[in-house]
Amino acid sequence: MARGTQECLRYTLAMTNREFKLAARPVGMPKESDFSLVEAAMPVVGDGQALVKTAYLSVDPYMRGRITGIRTYADPVNIGDVMEAGTVGEVVESKFPGLAQGDFVHSNWGWQEYAALPGNALRKLDPKLAPVSTALGVLGMPGMTAYFGLLDICKPQAGETVLVSGAAGAVGSLVGQIAKIQGCRAVGIAGTDDKIAWLVNELGFDAAFNYKTTSDYAGKLKELCPKGVDCYFDNVGGSVTDAVFGQMNTFGRVSICGQISQYNLEKPEPGPRLLGYMLVKQLKVEGFIVSRFTNRWMEGIGAMAKWLAEGKIKYREEVVEGFENTVRAFIGMLKGDNTGKMLVKV
Ligand SMILES: NC(=O)c1ccc[n+]([C@@H]2O[C@H](COP(=O)([O-])OP(=O)(O)OC[C@H]3O[C@@H](n4cnc5c(N)ncnc54)[C@H](OP(=O)(O)O)[C@@H]3O)[C@@H](O)[C@H]2O)c1
């Protein structure tokens, strides 16, 4: 059967859409019952729109914040809403002049199998540049978080030591590699021995340690960062980060990217007072949300794509198969099941 006929059959067979909606606000670690998988009417394509079939969808730590019901830097997802998420899909019908059936596009239509969206809200992908799934990882939001969060906020200089927590995840694994490209010593912190081996043996980190099997963080940091830490890219917060502040060098820079160790706590953890380190070491500590760099997105994508093509950046994807396994993938990512970017292949 010709490919076009096969595609036609596949698209006409799906009569309904499937969506994951928020069913309850999680307490502590999210549970599968906090979400409901529902059938919905197939979206209808209006003028200027395209109907897309989801190929990959993203599960990310920021989603934990969106389902708490509290407005952070963005509005929360309400009970009964489709979960918000970055997505990549294939155009199955187009009433938008710039897109045709078979094109792959990226946007944020959430945890659902189909969506009809204005064509100008969809970014067309070039499958020859890289696999389309990378639009959710190394050539997408996590990649831009690593790129701008390290280069613009920490401004690492050759010869300096860059330390990154959450080092084996989507963002952290890229931060260490970008630090190496800048001529820095890259040191990582992650949660399994396999992740540590991947960072050092495959990605070229100079050193890394497992925070779950290390009791004396300060001692380990002194051993692996003998000249102290000039740049710290913080993905996790909590006791790991508390220990890092004592190892920062004078005029060190700290990029506060994420605090995942705190996202599922039922009660806030009392922390030590770190401002004294900031004073005596004259540190620059800056939080950032990657959307502040939206107007420079193509600069970051271009740089990452070039490093990827040159073999200077490697990436890994942890792909969970099947739309119905989306919530399992999300919870798994929060628990550390992923090495590199956690994705769902629909
Ligand atoms: N500021 C921004 O604009 C922005 C944008 C994107 C992401 N972020 C933040 O960046 C961080 C990384 O995001 P990502 O997408 O790259 O996720 P990721 O690192 O691919 O996945 C999350 C990882 O967090 C680790 N983790 C879970 N609980 C932890 C704990 N209690 N202590 C330490 N580590 C823990 C797990 O790895 P282990 O096995 O190592 O524990 C897990 O694999 C998150 O904090 C996220 O919120 C911020």
DSSP secondary structure, 15-71, as one string: -EEEEEEE-S--SSS--GGGEEEEEEEPPPP-TTEEEEEEEEEE--THHHHHTSS--
Name the residue type at position 247: Q
Percent of the chain scoring above 90 in pLDDT: 92
Mean pLDDT of 219-230: 98
Helices (H), the chain: 3-13, 62-66, 141-148, 172-181, 193-197, 217-224, 238-245, 275-280, 297-309, 326-335
Between 15 and 316, residue with greater pLDDT: 316
Whole-number average pLDDT of the chain: 95
Instruction: Please give the C-alpha separations between residue 345 and each of 109, 318, 319, in angstroms, as whole numbers.
Output: 15, 10, 6
- Pocket of ligand 1 from Cβ distances under 6 Å: 60-62, 142, 145, 166, 168-172, 190-192, 195, 235-236, 238, 257-258, 260-261, 288-290, 333-334, 336, 338, 342
Model confidence at 14, pLDDT cuts 50, 70, 90, reads: low
Question: pLDDT tens across 75-95, in order?
Answer: 899 999 999 999 999 999 999
**Token digits of residue 146:** 């690593």
pTM of the entire structure? 0.95
Q: Which of 136, 171, 266 to mutate to test the pocket of ligand 1 (most atoms within 8 A of CB)?
A: 171
Residue of 161, 167, 171, 226 whose CA lies nearest to 192: 167
CA distance 25 to 30: 8
Q: Flag whether pLDDT at 8 surpasses 70.
A: no
Q: Would the pLDDT of 13 be above 60?
A: no
Output the CA 25–ligand 1 centroid distance in Å.
20
Beta bridge partners of 36: 21
Q: To test ligand 1's pocket by mutation, which of 84, 194, 235 has the most ligand atoms within 8 angstroms of CB?
A: 235
Closest CA to 246 of 210, 206, 277, 285: 277
